[in-house]
């Protein structure tokens, strides 16, 4: 493809009647493509009067006789729209050209919100156009010649009477998702892409294992994984292999080896109940378990299978040392495509199952989430393009490998993108983690708020000075914790969001870009939100009661569509049908999208109680209780809200509490008055307080909903 190549999708959506075209972004070259797309029709360029255009755009538009100015501050946008409507007569086209903007990489909309809001208030029919430059967001292993320099995806026209800011953002994201889904990389094999990453970065990038202070180049990791993969093929014919290991060089080699063997890695949750583990083993059908002797001794309570079913790394790898040395030399000589064919890595690709994870089981039996090669590669691409980390970056890998974030971001992402990986078996030992961050100058830290609290104790801020970005997920980030962390370490943790079923990342807050001269900043962070959606994802919301689509700026159940969305639960068609519909995934979370495109999570639909016909969000009630009881700075969870059946109102709120002195009827009455004084509705106030020794929490830091409900039933 040439440097100016362009891919245009869905030309058939261009209406014959007049329309206002709003491209999400538009440089001079893209403007010329768009002009050619509408050749033969009268084009009027629509420009906000205070916009500062790029010089090339400015010079070109000055030669045009067809231009229209508008003011985003106009108090009567409908009237302005009426005046502009004449430009749509006889199939005429209005095309909006936005001013200079500072944006983060892979942001679909470069138009300031106040300008976009004015345009969407004109009452004119609008055609969203997603404009992308795929070569700006290539993974390190991709070739620029494999993708077009520019891509335009024509969205679905929005009638004038239905047009709004929310409707435009939804339409633009849907168009952008269709474009992203066409990327050639998504048809590849995860194993082959990982091999390319290990080959490309093998001599320069390393894994530092904090458990024994060892370090290995990616080239050595590649050779070890290839040799172990051959051993795995000899050992079992089963399509999946279990891995029971913490983060570290062993966990990385094991996962790579299983993929190179043409099989599916299943990282089992060794912190789950015996019942949940046995369920996962049964569902996945594994008959071999890769682990290590020291770990077997460290976790004796795990329902280990007979010794003959265990592949112990510290015993196997020394026996394979000569073969590893041989393959290290072979890998240096042979190019990645030849190695890929030699190892047969392209037999399974695209929509084939690549990895199997299990949901946390926080609200029931763990469900098997089979993620395809396409799913995982899409999410690595989405995450990497939005973060846009420099080549000398490094990431701390301490989240469990059975945790979806730990799997994608600290296994596949650093290998593919060529980022140094610093590992440690536990996210709880923050003193040691801080030492590793300082020693290896780690730049990216991923944690849950529960684990982040550990850094607030006894950690010298100088230890974390190298960090450029701290991202939290898995549970809501309390603003009090974010404020305290920023005050101590000089860096605000950014909240993200994702689910196992979305491979997992869907949203992330990131620091706002630095503006250049005359540039308007398009924000990329918003406190209290989980961030804007990652590139290649579309979002819709539905009414919890009716199931009908509602505007995305209203509270509703969140649905996602994208290449990273899984295809269904393992051998569970009934559960799959409950959450999947025409490619859309129903998250079960309730939220809304604000005017700037930031998603706010109001809670899980399972964490709402319907009381006297009103939906009461448990997480909001918990946040209010934490505030009035002065628990903001606590390092562990002290309260949890549970809904229980109630004859009069359908449901009632119970409060599980570990706080001393907050249990009796009078304390419940006092708490009620404190909540009412802060504006909390009466329906939201707990009916009773149940004292407990501890609030059940999963290994990931998430609330154990099933455990809380059990406690509530036992003590109600």
Domain-wise residue ranges, the chain: 6-182, 190-589, 614-715
Nearest to 601 by CA among 505, 445, 715, 477: 477
Q: Is the peptide bond before 142 cis (omega within 30 degrees of 0)?
A: no
| Residue 691: pLDDT over 70 | yes
Q: What angle do CA 545, 546, 549 make, to 5 degrees?
A: 115
Q: Are the C-beta atoms of 434 and 459 separated by less than 8 Å?
A: yes
**What six digits make up the tokens of 620?**
């909001």
pTM: 0.88
Q: For strand 353-358 and strand 310-312, is the pairing parallel, antiparallel, or unpaired?
A: unpaired
pLDDT reported for residue 366: 87
Higher pLDDT, 602 or 1: 602
* Stretch 444-464: mean pLDDT: 91
Identify the bridge partners of residue 542 per DSSP, sorted by sequence position: 549, 557
pLDDT reported for residue 163: 96
Higher pLDDT, 313 or 359: 313
Sign for the pseudo-dihedral over CA of 49, 51, 52, 55: negative
Q: How far apart are the C-alpha atoms of 24 and 492, rounded to whole Å?
A: 29
Q: Are the C-beta atoms of 602 and 616 separated by less than 8 Å?
A: no
Q: What angle do CA 251, 254, 256 make, to 5 degrees?
A: 110
* Stretch 104-116: mean pLDDT: 95
**What six digits make up the tokens of 564?**
């990273």
Q: How far apart are the C-alpha atoms of 672 and 689, rounded to whole Å?
A: 11
Given the candidates 3.90.1150.50, 3.30.300.30, 3.40.50.2300, 1.25.40.10, the CATH classification of the domain at 614-715 is: 3.30.300.30
* Measured CA distances, 578 to 480, 503, 604, 606 (Å): 36, 19, 15, 14
Q: How far apart are the C-alpha atoms of 633 and 626, rounded to whole Å?
A: 9
Nearest to 260 by CA among 196, 210, 326, 186: 196
CA 347 to mean position of chain CA atoms: 28
Of 122-126, 424-428, 643-647, highest mean pLDDT: 122-126
| Residue 226: pLDDT over 50 | yes
The tally of CA atoms less than 13 A away on the side-chain side of residue 292 is 17
Q: How far apart are the C-alpha atoms of 448 and 715, rounded to whole Å?
A: 30
**What six digits make up the tokens of 668?**
């419940």
* Stretch 486-499: mean pLDDT: 95
Of 458-472, 606-620, 639-653, highest mean pLDDT: 458-472
pLDDT reported for residue 194: 98
Q: Which residues contact 60 (CB under 8 A, 6 or more apart)?
A: 28, 31
Identify the bridge partners of residue 688 per DSSP, sorted by sequence position: 654
Per CATH, domain 190-589 is 3.40.50.12780: yes
DSSP label at 88?
G
Nearest to 689 by CA among 623, 636, 638, 630: 638
Alpha helices in 267-335 (DSSP H): 274-284, 293-298, 313-319, 321-333
| Residue 73: pLDDT over 90 | no
């Amino acid at each position: 493809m040439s440097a100016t190549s362009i891919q245009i999708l869905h030309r058939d959506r261009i209406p014959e009647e007049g329309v206002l075209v709003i491209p999400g972004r538009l440089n001079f070259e893209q403007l010329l493509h768009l002009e050619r797309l509408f050749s033969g029709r009268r084009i009027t360029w629509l420009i906000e009067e205070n916009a500062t255009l790029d010089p090339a755009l400015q010079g070109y538009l000055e030669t045009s006789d067809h231009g229209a100015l508008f003011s985003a501050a106009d108090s009567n946008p409908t009237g302005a729209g009426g005046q502009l409507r004449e430009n749509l007569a006889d199939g005429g086209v209005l095309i909006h050209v936005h001013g200079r903007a500072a944006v983060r990489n892979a942001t679909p909309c470069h138009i300031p919100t106040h300008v976009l809001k004015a345009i969407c208030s004109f009452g004119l029919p609008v055609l969203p156009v997603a404009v992308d430059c795929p070569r700006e967001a290539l993974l390190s292993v991709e070739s620029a010649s494999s993708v077009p320099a520019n891509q335009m995806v024509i969205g679905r026209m929005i009638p004038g009477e239905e047009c709004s800011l929310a409707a435009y953002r939804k339409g633009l994201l849907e168009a952008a998702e269709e474009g992203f889904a066409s990327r050639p990389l998504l048809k590849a094999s995860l194993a082959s892409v990982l091999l390319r990453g290990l080959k490309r970065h093998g001599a320069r990038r390393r894994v530092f294992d904090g458990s024994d202070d060892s370090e290995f180049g990616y080239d050595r990791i590649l050779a070890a994984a290839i040799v172990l993969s051959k051993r795995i093929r000899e050992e079992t014919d089963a399509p999946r292999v279990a891995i029971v290991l913490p983060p570290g060089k062993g966990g990385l080699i094991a996962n790579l080896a299983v993929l190179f063997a043409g099989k599916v890695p299943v990282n089992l949750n060794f912190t789950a109940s015996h019942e949940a583990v046995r369920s996962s083993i049964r569902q996945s059908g594994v008959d071999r378990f890769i682990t290590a002797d020291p770990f077997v001794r460290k976790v004796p309570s795990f329902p280990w299978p007979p010794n003959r079913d265990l592949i112990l790394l510290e015993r196997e790898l020394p026996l394979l040392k000569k073969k590893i040395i041989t393959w290290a030399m072979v890998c240096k000589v042979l190019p990645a495509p030849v190695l890929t064919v030699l190892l047969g890595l392209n037999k399974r690709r695209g929509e084939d199952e690549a990895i199997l994870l299990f949901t946390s089981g926080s609200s029931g039996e763990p469900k098997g989430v089979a993620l395809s090669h396409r799913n995982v590669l899409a999410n690595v691409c989405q995450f990497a393009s939005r973060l846009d980390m420099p080549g000398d970056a490094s990431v701390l890998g301490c989240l469990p490998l059975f945790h979806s974030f730990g799997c994608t971001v600290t296994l596949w992402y650093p290998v593919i993108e060529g980022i140094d990986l610093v590992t440690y078996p536990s996210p709880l030992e923050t003193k040691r983690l801080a030492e590793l961050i300082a020693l290896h100058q780690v730049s990216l830290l991923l944690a849950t708020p529960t684990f982040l609290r550990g850094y607030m104790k006894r950690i010298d801020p100088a230890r974390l000075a190298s960090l450029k970005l701290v991202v939290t997920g898995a549970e809501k980030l309390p603003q009090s914790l974010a404020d305290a962390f920023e005050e101590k370490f000089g860096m605000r943790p950014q909240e993200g969001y994702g689910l196992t079923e979305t491979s997992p990342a869907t949203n992330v807050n990131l620091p706002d870009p630095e503006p250049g001269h005359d540039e308007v900043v398009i924000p990329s962070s918003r406190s209290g939100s989980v961030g804007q959606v990652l590139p290649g994802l579309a979002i819709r919301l539905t009414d919890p009661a009716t199931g009908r689509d509602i505007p995305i700026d209203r509270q509703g159940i969140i649905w996602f569509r994208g290449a990273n969305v899984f295809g269904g639960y393992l051998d569970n068609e009934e559960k799959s049908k409950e959450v999947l519909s025409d490619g859309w995934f129903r998250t079960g979370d309730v939220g809304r999208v604000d005017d700037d495109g930031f998603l706010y999570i109001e809670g899980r639909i399972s964490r709402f109680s319907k009381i006297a016909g009103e939906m009461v969000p448990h997480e909001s009630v918990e946040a209010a209780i934490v505030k009035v009881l002065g628990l903001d700075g606590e390092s562990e969870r002290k309260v949890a809200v549970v809904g229980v059946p109630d004859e009069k109102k359908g449901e009632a709120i119970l409060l599980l509490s570990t706080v001393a002195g907050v249990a009796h009827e009078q304390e419940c009455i006092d708490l009620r008055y404190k909540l009412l004084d802060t504006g909390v509705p009466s329906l939201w106030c707990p009916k009773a307080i149940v004292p407990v020794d501890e609030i059940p929490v999963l290994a990931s830091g998430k609330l154990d909903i099933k455990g809380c409900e059990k406690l509530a039933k036992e003590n109600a």
